[in-house]
């Protein structure tokens, strides 16, 4: 058993490294499909509104540990020798991966539900990477535009269809879990993940919320958003800034927080002009004017 587990770990690492080479950021997973490394903060009292996303420098922050750097992938697996699989972070550059998870467990025909959505909303499901799950489900890999944050959702599109977006992850092919091995569907391994059809993308991104008249001061939530931008790794700077700016505009603190977000992004090395452009597009997408 121990030998089998070691082989499973070595295999998972090999698959994770090859995914990383394709630009997909990965983390080690345990047999339960959860991040293999436990939080270094698990014994600390819950923070007041500002959970650590890796700023402490230690591993164990779930999908926030995800990396394409082969040295860091090896280090994460070395810290989690019980890992038998790996997760692929969604929503990150360069692919901005979106996972369409077609479940079979609930007894619903989620593949038929997706075909029906496609007919109703006039899109076709492109040829793309398909991962087969041990329980008979399928994961379709799609890519999103860089300026759009797709949220995670479960059953919102249709029963049995879960979406893995920003902050979510997909179990990578070659992973072994308690229920079996994830594999790439024959003939799809060599395909690049296909762009998400625009009509499907519109269903995945929630409509902008109505404008809130108050509040006008950033407050604690503003500090949390600024902190989120400040602790971004190089590959996450723009995505995090965009996400934070969207939340700020949705909550009526966008104009008040724009300068602080720009400054935070500049601190992480993003040029000011790029930061301003990202905030402007976040304002536009949430139905606001930047100033
Ligand atoms: Zn931490």
Q: What is the DSSP string of 27-71?
A: EEE-TTSSBSSPPTTTTSPPPSS---SSTTS-S--GGGG-B--HH
Query: What are the structure tokens assigned to 5, written together?
Result: 């587990």
CA of 121 to the centre of ligand 1 (A): 42
pTM for this structure?
Answer: 0.71
Ligand 1 centroid–CA 78 distance in Å is 19
What pLDDT does residue 106 have? Answer: 64
Give the Å distance between the CA of 51 and the centre of ligand 1: 8
Say what percent of the chain tops pLDDT 90: 64
Distance 60 CA to ligand 1 centre (A): 7
Distance from the alpha carbon of residue 249 to the mean position of ligand 1, in angstroms: 27
Measured in Å, residue 162 CA sits from the centre of ligand 1 at 28
d(CA 38, CA 244): 26
pLDDT in tens, the chain (291 residues): 455 788 999 999 999 999 999 999 999 999 999 999 999 998 888 776 678 888 888 999 999 999 999 999 999 999 999 999 999 999 999 999 999 999 887 677 899 999 999 999 999 999 999 999 999 999 999 999 988 899 999 988 888 999 999 999 999 999 999 999 999 999 999 899 999 999 999 999 977 665 555 454 556 778 888 988 988 887 788 888 988 998 898 888 899 999 999 999 999 999 999 999 999 988 887 777 655
Residue-level pLDDT at 212? 57
What's the 63 CA to ligand 1 centre distance in angstroms?
12
Are residues 212 and 252 in contact, defined by beta-carbon separation less than 8 angstroms? yes
Ligand 1 center from residue 41 Cα (angstroms): 6
Angle at 284 between CA 140 and CA 125, to 5 degrees: 20
How far away, in angstroms, is 64 Cα from ligand 1 center? Answer: 10
Give CA angle at 228 (48, 237), nearest 5°. Answer: 170
**Chain-wide mean pLDDT for the chain?**
89
Q: Tokens in use for 172? A: 């990578």
- CA 219 / ligand 1 centre spacing (Å): 23
Ligand 1 centre to CA of 107 (Å) is 39
- Residues within 5 A (CB) of ion ligand 1: 52, 56
Cβ atoms within 10 Å, residue 277 = 14
Distance 52 CA to ligand 1 centre (A): 4
For 224-273, write each residue's pLDDT tens digit.
Answer: 889 889 888 877 888 889 889 988 988 888 999 999 999 999 999 999 99
Dig out the tokens for 175 from the structure.
């992973």
Please give the distance, rounded to the nearest whole angstrom, from the Cα atom of residue 76 to the centre of ligand 1: 15
Q: How far apart are CA 197 and CA 190, in angstroms?
A: 20
Could you tell me where the beta strands, DSSP code E, fall in the chain? 26-29, 85-89, 97-102, 130-132, 138-143, 153-158, 161-164, 169-171, 176-177, 180-181, 183-184, 194-195
Distance from residue 244's CA to the centre of ligand 1 (Å): 19
Distance, CA 32 to ligand 1 centroid (Å)? 22
CA of 158 to the centre of ligand 1 (A): 36
C-alpha 61 – ligand 1 centre gap (Å): 7
CA 114 to chain CA centroid, nearest Å: 21
Calculate how far, in angstroms, residue 55's C-alpha sits from the geometric centre of ligand 1. Answer: 6
Are the C-beta atoms of residues 243 and 277 closer than 8 Å to each other? no
- Per the document, the length of the chain is 291
User: How far apart, in whole angstroms, are the C-alpha atoms of residue 268 and residue 237?
Assistant: 7
Taking residue 103's Cβ as centre, other Cβ atoms within 10 Å add up to: 21
Is residue 198 exposed (0-12), middle (13-18) or buried (19+ Cβ within 10 Å)? exposed
C-alpha 6 – ligand 1 centre gap (Å): 28
């Amino acid at each position: 058993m121990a030998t089998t587990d070691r082989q499973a770990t070595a295999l998972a690492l090999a698959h994770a490294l090859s995914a990383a080479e394709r630009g997909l950021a990965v983390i080690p997973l345990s047999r339960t499909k959860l991040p293999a490394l436990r939080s270094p903060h698990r014994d600390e009292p819950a923070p007041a509104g500002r959970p650590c996303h890796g700023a402490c420098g230690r591993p164990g922050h779930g999908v926030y540990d995800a990396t394409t750097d082969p040295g860091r992938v090896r280090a994460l697996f070395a810290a989690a020798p019980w890992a038998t699989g790996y997760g692929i972070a969604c929503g990150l550059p360069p692919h901005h991966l979106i996972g369409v998870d077609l479940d079979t467990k609930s007894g619903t025909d989620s593949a038929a539900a997706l075909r029906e959505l496609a007919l109703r909303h006039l899109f076709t499901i492109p040829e793309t990477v398909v991962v087969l799950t041990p329980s008979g489900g399928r994961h379709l890999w799609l890519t999103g535009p860089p300026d759009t944050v797709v949220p995670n959702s479960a059953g919102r599109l249709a029963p049995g269809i879960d979406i893995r977006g920003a902050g979510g992850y997909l179990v990578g092919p070659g992973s072994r879990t308690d229920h079996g091995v994830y594999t790439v569907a024959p003939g799809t391994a060599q395909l690049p993940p296909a762009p998400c059809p625009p009509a499907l993308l519109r269903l995945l991104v929630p409509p902008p919320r109505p404008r809130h008249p108050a509040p006008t001061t950033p407050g604690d939530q503003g500090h949390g958003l600024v902190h989120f931008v400040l602790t971004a790794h190089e590959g996450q700077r723009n995505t995090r800034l965009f996400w934070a700016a969207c939340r700020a505009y949705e909550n009526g603190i966008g104009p008040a927080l724009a300068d602080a977000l720009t400054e935070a992004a500049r601190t992480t090395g993003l040029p000011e002009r790029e930061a301003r452009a990202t905030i402007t597009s976040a304002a536009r997408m949430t139905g606001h004017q930047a100033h």
